[in-house]
Structure 1
Amino acid sequence: MKVAVIGCGKMGVTYIQALSRMPGVELAAISDLRLEHAERIAEEYGISAYSSVDDLLADKNIQVVCVTVPSHLHKELVVKAAKAGKHIVCEKPLALSPKDAEEMILSCNENGVQLYVAHVVRFFPAYADIKRKISEGVIGDVGIAHAKRMAGNPGVGREWFLDPRLSGGVIMDVIIHDIDFMRWTLGEISSVYALNHRTESLDYASVTLRFRSGAIANLEGCLGSPDTFTSEVELFGKKGAIRHSNRDGITLRAVLREGPHGSPVVNEQSPIVHSNYWTELNHFLECIRTGNDPVVSAYDGLKAVEIAAAAIESIRTGQPVSLSES
């Protein structure tokens, strides 16, 4: 299977590294507006480099394109790739508005190509294990959940992250990871309430999700945090709690109530070293080969954008936003 990558920023390079090590996959070409930058990377991997996306898409041998450009460019490039007959892996968020996300999905359907949205948190072993344990009822019905995702300064060349017109801001770019994870784990959401504090160098928000099950999740996120990257999640059920933090030496800690004399039973799991992006991309490409349903669908990508957009609307109005049950 011949695959190309559009966009050679930090995420594009991550994709290039993963695809170059994947059995049964040929990394065929890359594209970036900065042709000299793309050519340096292409020389390292022995592949073709383009400054024109149209020229790359004209290559009939390329079957799949990975879209790893800034978020505000996703719609334009996904629609172009769909019309060129390419299957598509698009970085999250799928788009910056539900309307654009719907149009992208429609274009892919009309052109008979598959669209996969890279919500990579579903492929992190600890998060996948939390989802599995919740589904198995290990801690019982979940009533409360918390998540925190604090990212530092985007760095030189990636300042667009701090411009909400280009990235969607902290909710659409950072907290959307936990929005998708919570919906995947706890089901559909009935209402959203959010608060935001933004300066020239920092974008912070808190988002409260109320689920149709009655559960409530509080999500916290930051772009421009002065601390090191933090990713934490905890869920509380009738029978116990599950916690994970990237700062722990263990991958996952589950604490149950069933111990003797009421003492907690603690289950700790050691870290598993995987490239989560490799796992994600390998899964999507396998779905293209086999026709199997993906772990995360284009519809899931649309729903995450809808919920993030509702949070942004809540900030604008100062009121909770109800979500449709359709």
Structure 2
Amino acid sequence: MKTYAVAIIGAGMISKSHIAAINNLPNAKCVAITDIIHEKAQAAAQKVNCPCFTDAKEMLEKVPEIDVCILSLPTYIHSDYVSLCAEYGKATLCEKPLEMTVEKAERIRSVVQKTGIIYMTAQVVRFWTGYREIKEMMKNGEFGDIYMSYFSRCSEPQKWGNDWLFDPVTGGGAMYDMLVHDIDFMNYLYGPAESVYTVATKSDTNCYNNVFASLIYSGGAKGVAETSFTMKTGYPFTMTAKIMGSKATAEYIYSAGYDINQRNGAIAVLKLFRDGKTPEIINVEQYDAYTKQLAYFLDCVDRGVQPDIVTLDQSVEVIRTIDAIRRSADTNSIIRLR
């Protein structure tokens, strides 16, 4: 079994989950970490006993054995670093959201198509316990006709020296950082949205940090996605999913710590309700979704195929949808995507 040499570019908060995933897998080893802040790169590298850098190009030059790059960088520079990794022929797992604009998302698609690198956006919810079960139940028709779906993702403001996240141009706040997960998962269930209508408010950062987005899909399904970065001190990072169908209703609630890295002791409950039957608590498999995601990506790299659980076309469509949600909030109008 080949052991893949994995490099981390960006040693911010979410890199901890990716490094843990590398350490969890027998066929992966962290061989280099880069961050423009030397102290952050050094602290992360010391924990896994690998070299650190402050320049990604220098890292790629000096550690040529790298097979895979994981990008845990500010959103607005994703296209620059996907392009850099592609220049060196490295398989690339890039944190969500894909980019801040449709134009930059299309740039990534063009680079991947031109160079042929194996690429995936880290839309980790597609690998998350509870959500995977909902996807399987949907595939098997257990819900019947879908009346409505509701997805929510709320927390305190996620601050760790990441001012870029709370800038409407570079990070976009909760609308781009949090809502993107649920828009992606709804697209995973129903396909691309036909239209969106958004009710949202901006916080003092001038980002949309409280959002309700209503979406209609071509198959007739309708859904609402909620996000907030304005919950007050002590409110746990909480994800909720509800599917209301003609045959069954499902409710999933996941509650962690202050941020998504604090998953030890998280509460995760999936319940299924049917007419005339006792409510059922589904025994969901317990595992680390970041490890599951990386294992899948490395398998794709091993087989030399592009991922099909999360495709690049789907990731671009998510950015098109988020862009429409933002424009709907700006104009207080329905935005049609097709």
- Normalised-by-shorter TM-score class: over 0.9
User: Does the 8 Å contact 1:192/1:311 carry over to 2?
Assistant: yes
The answer to whether 1:51 aligns with 2:54 is: yes
Query: How far apart are residue 271 of structure 1 and its match?
Result: 4.9
User: Does the 8 Å contact 1:250/1:268 carry over to 2?
Assistant: no
Cα deviation per residue 1:130-174 (whole Å; 9 max; x = unaligned)? 011011011202121111110212123123322221212322211
Aligned to 2:42: 39
2-structure distance, mates of 1:180, 1:280: 15
Query: How far apart are residue 312 of structure 1 and its match?
Result: 0.5
The one-letter amino acid paired with 1:17 is A
Moved more, 178-187 or 12-21: 12-21
The answer to whether 1:256 aligns with 2:274 is: yes
2-structure distance, mates of 1:175, 1:189: 15
Cα deviation per residue 1:285-313 (whole Å; 9 max; x = unaligned)? 11110135431111111111110001001
The answer to whether 1:215 aligns with 2:221 is: yes
* Corresponding residue to 1:243 among 247, 251, 257: 251
The one-letter amino acid paired with 1:49 is C
Cα deviation per residue 1:188-214 (whole Å; 9 max; x = unaligned)? 211011121112268101100011112
1-structure distance, mates of 2:200, 2:308: 33
1-structure distance, mates of 2:268, 2:89: 44
User: Does the 8 Å contact 1:242/1:254 carry over to 2?
Assistant: yes
Structure-to-structure mapping, 1:146-161, within 5 angstroms: 146-161=150-165
Cα deviation per residue 1:211-254 (whole Å; 9 max; x = unaligned)? 11122101110113212222101011111211101149553111
1-structure distance, mates of 2:308, 2:291: 15
Moved more, 159-168 or 27-36: 159-168
2-structure distance, mates of 1:162, 1:55: 29
List runs of 5+ in structure 2 lacking aligned partners: 256-265
1:37 match: secondary structure: helix
The answer to whether 1:229 aligns with 2:242 is: no
User: Does the 8 Å contact 2:144/2:245 carry over to 1?
Assistant: yes
2:170 match: secondary structure: helix
* Corresponding residue to 2:322 among 285, 289, 308: 308
User: Does the 8 Å contact 1:208/1:218 carry over to 2?
Assistant: yes
Aligned to 2:263: none
Aligned to 2:167: 163
Aligned to 2:297: 284
Cα deviation per residue 1:5-28 (whole Å; 9 max; x = unaligned)? 000011112211211231111211
1-structure distance, mates of 2:289, 2:268: 17
The one-letter amino acid paired with 2:240 is E
Change (3 A) 1:138 1:204: same
* Corresponding residue to 1:299 among 313, 316, 325: 313
Cα RMSD, aligned residues only: 1.6
Instruction: Give the TM-score normalised by structure 2.
Output: 0.90
The one-letter amino acid paired with 1:157 is G
Instruction: Give the TM-score normalised by structure 1.
Output: 0.93
1:129 match: secondary structure: helix
2-structure distance, mates of 1:153, 1:82: 33
2-structure distance, mates of 1:294, 1:249: 29
The one-letter amino acid paired with 2:87 is K
User: Does the 8 Å contact 1:149/1:229 carry over to 2?
Assistant: yes
1:125 match: secondary structure: coil
Cα deviation per residue 1:247-299 (whole Å; 9 max; x = unaligned)? 49553111112xxxxx2342212353311111111111111101354311111
2-structure distance, mates of 1:312, 1:138: 33
2-structure distance, mates of 1:153, 1:189: 28
2:216 match: secondary structure: strand
User: Does the 8 Å contact 1:209/1:217 carry over to 2?
Assistant: yes
User: Does the 8 Å contact 1:6/1:53 carry over to 2?
Assistant: yes
The one-letter amino acid paired with 1:255 is F
Matched pairs, number: 319
Aligned to 2:258: none
